[in-house]
Chain A
Amino acid sequence: QTVVTQEPSLTVSPGGTVTLTCASNTGAVTSGYYPNWFQQKPGQAPRALIYSTSKKHSWTPARFSGSLLGGKAALTLSGVQPEDEADYYCLLYYGAAWVFGGGTKLTVL
Chain B
Amino acid sequence: EVQVLEAGGGLVQPGGSLRLSCAASGFTFRSYAMSWVRQAPGKGLEWVSAISGNGGSTYYADSVKGRFTISRDNSKNTLYLQMNSLRAEDTAIYYCAKEPFTDFWGAMDVWGQGTTVTVSS
Contacts and interface: CB of A to CB of B under 8 A. Distances in A.
Interface of A: 34, 36, 38, 40, 45-48, 51-52, 57, 87, 89, 91-93, 96-103
Contact of A36 (B44, B60, B95, B107): B107
Given A36-B105, A46-B108, A100-B44, 12 more contacts: A34-B105, A34-B106, A36-B108, A45-B111, A46-B111, A51-B106, A89-B44, A89-B45, A97-B59, A97-B61, A98-B47, A100-B46
Contacts, number: 66
Interface string B7-40: 0000000000000000000000000000001000
Given A46-B45, A100-B44, A103-B44, A38 B108 contact: yes
B47 A52 contact: no
A25 B100 CA distance: 28
Query: Main SS of the interface on chain B?
Result: loop
A4 to B, nearest CB: 10
B95 to A, nearest CB: 6
Pick the most buried of B61, B100, B106: most chain A CB atoms within 10 A of its CB.
B106
Contact of B113 (A34, A45, A92, A98): A45
A39 B114 CA distance: 16
B119 to A, nearest CB: 21
B109 interface: yes
